[in-house]
Chains A and B, each alone.
Chain A
Amino acid sequence: DIQMTQSPASLSASLGETVTIECRASEDIYNGLAWYQQKPGKSPQLLIYNANSLHTGVPSRFSGSGSGTQYSLKINSLQSEDVASYFCQQYYDYPDTFGAGTKLELK
């Protein structure tokens, strides 16, 4: 199975700040990478797919980048509604695997 290593595990940032979350795959996943946002008590919501494509309705302050084994999610101008956990997922190869998550809090 492809292992997804996500960092940091937790993150504290101020309103308006730019935040970056990293995800490293144990082998090349050829941009088969998605990012999800999960608010407390809610189901995950797709933010980014194919490493850098924004899902329908997702604010443009979210962006994804990367290639090969290294990927990142950037949130520009952090808003209060961005407080959540974020997960990366590779879907290049079965079984689909997720990173352990990053919990984002406001400072």
Chain B
Amino acid sequence: EVQLVESGGGLVQPGRSMKLSCAASGFTFNNYDMAWVCQAPKKGLEWVATISYDGSSTYYRDSVKGRFTISRDNAKSTLYLQMDSLRSEDTATYYCARQRQVAPFDYWGQGVMVTVSS
């Protein structure tokens, strides 16, 4: 059974940093691209970032470029999202999701809430 379990969310002040983790199990982690998708309270879904199966390529939405870094440790089957210079508009639930190239997000984690507020 595919499982994705996020951790690391919480309350953080504007301008500070936070790192999210996503532990994967039930599939061969290094065969898949992985992504982060966010959802602001009562809002729709927004793709945040994607990393290729081997970590060699990364892609970001414009609003997080230069502030967020997606990475992975294939030996630990874990995905990360380092979020720096956080803003109030980054407040959202962050989901990790499994993805192949030019394909949908076929499995999602339960999500972790990040609240950016003073």
Contacts and interface: CB of A to CB of B under 8 A. Distances in A.
Interface of A: 32, 34, 36, 42-46, 49, 55, 87, 89, 91-92, 94-101
For the complex of A and B, the 10 pairs showing the least CB-CB separation, nearest first, are A34-B104, A43-B108, A96-B47, A98-B45, A49-B104, A100-B44, A101-B44, A46-B106, A43-B111, A95-B47
Chain B: interface residue count, which band?
10 to 19
B109 interface: yes
A42 B45 CA distance: 13
Chain A, interface SS category? loop
B102 A98 contact: no
A101 to B, nearest CB: 5
Contacts, number: 47
Nearest to B61: A95
A87 B95 CA distance: 15
Nearest to A100: B44
Contacts of A45: 108
Contacts of A42: 110
A34 B108 CA distance: 14
Interface in B59-76: 59, 61
14 contacts: A43-B110, A44-B45, A44-B105, A46-B104, A46-B107, A49-B106, A87-B45, A89-B45, A89-B104, A89-B105, A98-B44, A98-B46, A100-B44, A101-B45
Contacts of B45: 36, 44, 87, 89, 98, 101
Contacts of B110: 42-43
Nearest to A90: B104
Given A34-B104, A91-B102, A91-B104, 16 more contacts: A32-B102, A34-B105, A42-B110, A44-B105, A46-B104, A46-B105, A46-B107, A49-B103, A95-B47, A95-B59, A95-B61, A96-B47, A97-B47, A98-B44, A100-B44, A101-B44
A47 to B, nearest CB: 10
